[in-house]
Amino acid sequence: MMTSKEVLNHVAAEPFRPFRIHTAGGRSFEVKYPEVVMVGKTTLTLSVPLSDDIPDAQGMWYKLSLLIESIEPLDAAVHQRE
């Protein structure tokens, strides 16, 4: 499990570098803009844009526990989960 501070370090990085979150449940989420993430003490809330062409068009909001397995730069290769 990651701490809220560890997640916040990625969100508030200067310059911001897009990243991918891998949850302990096997899901992954791409974070391309820091504005789509809200970090709490034990949860984080993020929005997945409807389209890469229109980043301001918000899609679904997800509330996740901080049971995050890993965070990697978005330009890193996506690995298959079993």
Number of Cβ within 10 Å of residue 72's Cβ equals 15
d(CA 74, CA 51): 17
Q: Does residue 81 lie within any of the structural domains? A: no
pLDDT in tens, the chain (82 residues): 889 999 999 999 999 999 999 999 999 999 988 988 999 999 999 988 776 666 566 678 999 999 999 999 988 665 544 4
Please give the tally of structural domains in the chain.
1
**In CATH, what number is assigned to the domain containing residue 16?**
2.30.30
Domain that holds residue 31: 4-73
For residue 5, the SS3 value is helix
Instruction: Output the six-digit token pair for 76.
Output: 């890193």
C-alpha count within 13 angstroms, C-beta hemisphere, residue 14: 0
pLDDT at 28: 92
- Does the pTM exceed 0.85? no
CA 56 to chain centre: 16
Q: Is residue 50 part of a domain?
A: yes
Q: Is residue 32 part of a domain?
A: yes
